[in-house]
Amino acid sequence: MINSHCTNTQSGSIPHTPLPSLRPGTVLFLDFDGVLHRPPYWTEVGLPALDPEIPDHQLFERLHLLEPVIDELPIQVVLSTTWVPTASIWLPSTPPDAFANPHPWGYTLVPLLGRAGKCVVGSTFEIEFGDGWKDMTRFEQIETFAARHQVDEWVALDDDARGWPKLRQHNLVKVDPDAALTKSDAHELRQRLHTLLAVGVPV
């Protein structure tokens, strides 16, 4: 069953913008590198590239394991990844209102996420943070976004546990970056989200 709560639509390969507004409810903070694929290397112009030393390396190679979880549950997705700040430079030709829009990266990143892209409502990187965002740990980025937008019910899917406090370990599904998302990780994520949705308070 497709997640009917997701409202992000697409016109051809370009999603309508701005993205749907964040609603009260459960949020999945989603990382890319080490989660949706084994880590790429980054070129001098800020573009990810496949690593020839990793056998069968593909960008977004684990997305098929995440999509069924997204389809099943009424959750919203907030991107928590270093891809967002540089994504706008990937546009081969800039749509007229891309950079006037509060989510210019939506033109490039959302279409890459398949069905999961339909649930994207924002990113932990917001222009007001400026360069300070890069100096935060992943947990600090998420915590700042959650406090700013009054998000109480959330789970993070990430390979970066640096600075993550013990009292918040239950909000993190930690992925081994060398393997990226596995069936076991996806099952754990599904269970965490089911618990959160059933109880209606932070797990």
Burial class (CB in 10 A: 0-12, 13-18, 19+), 140: middle
Residue 48 lies in a domain: yes
Residue 92 lies in a domain: yes
Q: How many domains does the chain have?
A: 1
Residue 4 lies in a domain: no
- Consecutive H or E run containing 79: strand 76-79
What pLDDT digit, counting tens, does each position of 117-171 carry?
A: 999 999 999 877 767 888 899 999 999 999 999 999 999 999 999 999 999 999 9
Give this prediction's pTM. 0.88
What pLDDT digit, counting tens, does each position of 73-119 carry?
A: 999 999 999 899 877 666 666 666 666 677 888 888 899 999 999 99
Rounded Cα distance, 88 and 107, in Å: 8
pLDDT at 3 > cutoff 80: no
Residue 3 lies in a domain: no
3-state secondary structure of 180: coil
Residue 145 lies in a domain: yes
Residue 15 is part of which domain span?
10-199
Residue 175 lies in a domain: yes
- Consecutive H or E run containing 138: helix 138-148
CATH of the domain at 147: 3.40.50
Contact 123, 84 (CB under 8 A): yes
